[in-house]
Structures are given as structure tokens and as C-alpha cells.
Structure 1
Amino acid sequence: MKRHLGAILAAMSFLTRLPMPSWVACDSWAIVQASRWFALIGLLIGSVAALILLSLAPIMGQPLAVIITLVGVILLTGAFHEDGLADLCDGFGGGWEKARKLAIMKDSQIGAYGVLALVCAFALKLVTLGQMPLAMAATSLIICHAGSRTIAGLVAVYLPYARDDSNNKTPQKDAELPIKNRIILCICGGLPLLMLPISVAMTLIGIWLLTFIYMIKLMKRHIQGYTGDALGATQQIIEIVGLVFFAIYSYQTTVIL
């Protein structure tokens, strides 16, 4: 029991900025073993975001509550995946060859592509969550945070690690993801979908699958593999695609009614 708890807390230490007990191992190998719980941590992050939104919206209105919720998620996660999205857009947009793209992605400075990507990502989250009914917005946060971390965690199953050097912070490169761990990842990420009608859940899964295939092909074309930034970018894009889906679904449902 303590071993599983330690793995869950190790996953939380990697994906959030929450302080962990001193006995929790946070080295690369511990994070590799804990990666099966990344979707569970996404579920927790989404639940915290939903709780913030549901608590604040009746007090200050949904638009302002959405902004504070998004800022709260950034503080909770340290903009971990947003940083990956910015780096991927800078690298893929600003480099011509694989080596140059990887060098740009590793550079701590942010370029125009990265800035625009972050602005667009925040704007899409803000507008989609703001136009949905409050209950739908809260539900979408839980589902999209869990599902996006599941899908990002599966990238390493289909692509090799793109960098040749060993001086990096991507634990997934050190070991393959066993079948058992993939199942745990998918179960944790898929559980929130039970809140949806079957037809809606299946439609969302189909859209996510197409987005996942597109991201795999995009990474393969640009860098012939994945990096930690690519995993973060995948999480962000899957999350945003999910939020856009829920915004369209809620709008169409309202129009029909």
C-alpha cells in the first residue's frame, strides 16, 4: 500500500508544485514507475479546478471565476505543460532541421511562436469555459485534465525519444511503459467519461484519437520522435480540443432546446 501511495505522490510531485513528504522518492526512476498515475493526478487537478470554479462563480460570476480558476491551475502545476507547448511551437516553427528544432526547444527563451501559442491557448480555455453552463464547464475540466494526461502519457508507446543526449528531465525516456501501466493510465483517465452519455463520450474519444494521431505524425515529421516538451504540448492540445468539443456540444444542445 505504501509503495502505491509513494508512486502516486511521486507523480504528484512531478506534475504539480505541491510539497511532498521527505520519504517520497522523486528521482527519475521513481517518476518512471509513477507515470502510470499521471492520469489520476490529472483527475485531481481537474477536480480542484472544478471546485474553484463552482465555488467562485456564484459569488463573482462565471467569466471572472474562469480566469481565477485558470490562474489557479497554472499556480498548482507551475505551467508545466504550457511551457512544453510554447517550446514545441518555437522549435517546430523556427527551425528547419531536427537538430536546430531540438536546440530551440531546449532554449529557455521564448519566441513569437511560443508567445502566440500561449495567448491562443489561454484565450481558448477562457472563452470555452466561459460560454458553457457552469455544471458543464466543471465537468469538462475534470474530464479534459484526466484524459489529456492519459493521451500524453501514451505518446512514448508509439515514438522513440528524439534527443541523443542524456542530460534531460524526461523520465519516460528511461523505460518502456508496460501494458499493466498503460491499462492503469487509461482507466484513471477514462473514469470521468462515465459522467457523459455514451454517445457523447464515444464522440469525444474519437476526436481525441484523431488529434493524438495528428500529434504523433507531427512529431515524427519534425523531430522523428518525442521530447518532454512534446508531451506537454500534447497534453495542452488534447485538453483544449476537449474544451472546444464541450463548448460546441453545450451550444448545440442549447440551440436545439
Structure 2
Amino acid sequence: MKLQWRYFLLAVGFFTRVPVPSLPDFQETDLNHAARYFPLVGLFIGLLAAAVWWLASLVFPPALAVLCSMATTIYMTGAFHEDGLADSADGLGGGMDRARKLEIMQDSRLGSFGVITLIGMLLFKFQALSALSPAMLPFAMIAAHALSRLAAVAIMATASYVRFAGKSKPLATALTRPDLAYAILFGTLCWLVFSLMLGINHTLFTVIRFQLFTAIPVLLVWLWWRRLILRHLQGYTGDTLGATQQLTELAFYLGLLAWEHLA
């Protein structure tokens, strides 16, 4: 239990600004085991997003409450995933070959592709969240943040890590079957609870439609993005994992929004 607590704290410290106790004798391989808790960290970030939205909605208009929630998650994660999305867009959009793409992704400067992609992502998320019904919005935030981090773990489990030449940031690069099993549990838990709650007041057909409308967009975006990075980079980097999280989070919101409009 003490070792698992260490791995959980490592995941929290790696992905958020939440202060955690110092972890002596850190090794990069510890992140491999901490990966099982990445979706759980996402679940807590989703809970925070939902709580901030609810509190802000008591005193602010709906659109401003959504912005407060988005700003909170960006601050709490240090824009970690947004930065990965922007760097991935710059590298894949601006590089002519694999080496150049990776070189651009290492560059701390933000290019045109990164700016356009980042602004577009924030606008899409804002519009999607603002369009969701208040009854669905908090559950959507919690489920999306957990599922999207599971999507990143799934990339790690099914592709090879592309290590940059020279010094690179530590990153989880290998998962055991138990690690992946726990990640799947934490990543899908809220989505499954969400489905069960809908089943109380809706028919089984409605619940199945909800599951299909939310899972299929996430899966399709994940498959497309995985194929893209394998074709261009022959594997994944930390930046592409951040992009995975952002893309699949948005896919979940759009799928849920489509389900609401067609329900």
C-alpha cells in the first residue's frame, strides 16, 4: 500500500500543481507503475472542474461559469496537455521529415500551427461545454477528464516511445498488464456510473445510445491520432500524449452533445 501511495503521489505531482511530499530515490521507471493512476488523477481534475463550474454558476452567467471551470483545470495542470497539443501541431504541421518534426516539437517556441490548434481547441471546448445541459455538464467533465487520460495510457500501451536525442523529460514508457487493468478501471468508472444513473430514468435503448454516442467518437479520434503519429513519428512522445488527452476529451463532449440533441 505504501508503494502504491507513492505511485499515486507521483502521478499527482507529475500532472498537476498540487503540492506533494518529496519522493526520495525517484527513478524514471517509477512512472511506468504510476501510469495506472493517470486516469484517476483525471477523475479528480474532472471533479474539481465540476465543483468550480457549480460554484461559479451560482453567481455568474452560464458561459462565464464554464470559463471559470476551464481556467481552473488549465491552471491546476499547468497547461501540461494544452502545451503538448500545441507542440504536436507545430511538429506535425511544420516538419518535412521525422527528424525535423521531432526537432520542432522540442522547440519551446510556439508556431502558427500550434497557436491555431490551441485556440481552436479552447473555443471548441468552450462552445461544447456551454451547449450541454446543466444536468449533464458536471458528469461530462468528470467522465471526459478520466477517459481522455485513459486514452493517453492506451497510446503508451500500444505504441513505442520515441526518445529524443540528448536530454529529455522523464516519461512513462512501459505498462504491465495490472497497470493497464487499473488504468481501464479508473478511466471508465465515472462513465459507467454515468450510464447507470441514466438507466434509472431512461430505457435501456437510451443508455446504449448514450454509450455509443460517447464511446465511438473517442475511439475514432484515438484511432486516427494513433495512426497519424505512427505514420509521422513511428511512435509517441510526451507531447503527443498531451494532444491525445485534449483531442479525446473534446470528442467525448461532442459525442455527448450529439446524443443530447438527438435523444
The corresponding residue for 1:50 is 50
The corresponding residue for 1:22 is 22
Counterpart-to-counterpart distance in 2, 1:206 and 1:241: 9
Letter of the structure 1 residue corresponding to residue 109 of structure 2: Q
Counterpart-to-counterpart distance in 2, 1:16 and 1:24: 19
State whether structure 2 residue 218 is matched by structure 1 residue 208.
Answer: yes
State whether structure 2 residue 92 is matched by structure 1 residue 82.
Answer: no
Q: After the TM superposition, list the runs of 4 or more consecutive aligned residues in structure 1 that deviate by more than 4 angstroms.
A: 23-27
Q: 1:184 aligns with which of 165, 182, 185?
A: 182
Does structure 2 conserve the Cα–Cα contact (< 8 Å) formed by 1:170 and 1:227? no
Instruction: List per-residue Cα deviations over 1:199-219 (Å, max 9, x = no partner).
Output: 112432222222211111100
The corresponding residue for 2:4 is 4
User: Which blocks of at least 5 consecutive residues in structure 1 are unaligned?
Assistant: none
Does structure 1 conserve the Cα–Cα contact (< 8 Å) formed by 2:213 and 2:255? no
The corresponding residue for 1:59 is 59
Counterpart-to-counterpart distance in 1, 2:61 and 2:227: 41
Q: 2:259 aligns with which of 230, 242, 249?
A: 249
State whether structure 2 residue 238 is matched by structure 1 residue 228.
Answer: yes
Instruction: List per-residue Cα deviations over 1:71-125 (Å, max 9, x = no partner).
Output: 1101100000000000000000001100000000000000010001110111011
The change in CA–CA distance for 1:55 and 1:114 in structure 2 (over 3 A counts) is same
Counterpart-to-counterpart distance in 2, 1:205 and 1:25: 39
Displacement, 1:14? 0.5
Does structure 1 conserve the Cα–Cα contact (< 8 Å) formed by 2:82 and 2:118? yes
SS at match of 1:225: coil
State whether structure 2 residue 137 is matched by structure 1 residue 137.
Answer: yes
The corresponding residue for 2:227 is 217
Does structure 1 conserve the Cα–Cα contact (< 8 Å) formed by 2:148 and 2:248? yes
Counterpart-to-counterpart distance in 1, 2:75 and 2:225: 27
Counterpart-to-counterpart distance in 2, 1:32 and 1:7: 9
Letter of the structure 2 residue corresponding to residue 247 of structure 1: L
The change in CA–CA distance for 1:164 and 1:74 in structure 2 (over 3 A counts) is closer
User: Which blocks of at least 5 consecutive residues in structure 2 are unaligned?
Assistant: 199-206
The change in CA–CA distance for 1:22 and 1:128 in structure 2 (over 3 A counts) is same
The corresponding residue for 2:203 is none
Counterpart-to-counterpart distance in 2, 1:201 and 1:74: 27
Counterpart-to-counterpart distance in 2, 1:202 and 1:247: 12
Aligned residues: 251
Which stretch of the first structure deviates more once superposed, 97-106 or 17-26?
Answer: 17-26
The corresponding residue for 2:127 is 127
SS at match of 1:134: coil
Displacement, 1:25? 6.4
SS at match of 2:136: helix
Counterpart-to-counterpart distance in 1, 2:123 and 2:148: 18
Instruction: List per-residue Cα deviations over 1:165-220 (Å, max 9, x = no partner).
Output: 352114223xx211111110000000011212441124322222222111111001
The normalised TM-score by structure 1 is 0.93
Root mean square deviation, CA, Å = 1.5
Displacement, 1:137? 1.2
